[in-house]
Structure 1
């Protein structure tokens, strides 16, 4: 099972992580974490090769734990064993950082 990353850990060392927003295009357009790459969950398996090396992949959805947990599991299975999902998701991040 993929691990979870806390908002505090991300805030403390953001350059260590590569953020991937796995929501659909409409949700992403409404609000997203600045710098997050948009790859909808349905396309994640096909586009996993686009992730940069050297940074821990962190999947993000709206509240955290649904689509993001599934996305981290997909990445774990595809050779990114360090992939995690963001606790609190986009909503939590924006609440603390805007």
Structure 2
């Protein structure tokens, strides 16, 4: 089922303000609905015969690429944090680069 997303939220997503979308009432309700639909189980782990509790609802087709599918049930899946990180390795890579580029803290020399 595809819910009609408001023009305001669609515009926010297209302009790169996804934070506004993720804070919206429409998303919070849809997120809860999808978690309940999937019994709060990670659907990726479940396919592998494992059980992991899900706390994240993932857009199968990325939100910024397909904003019109932002609230479409068939584009949303419940996943655990580990599986979500696998879906978005670029986010981890960005964090790792920032971490590695930081300066080492200056520590007092011990006498």
TM-score normalized with structure 2 length = 0.24
Give 1 or 2 for the bigger CA radius of gyration: 2
Q: Which has the higher helix share?
A: 2
TM-score normalized with structure 1 length = 0.26
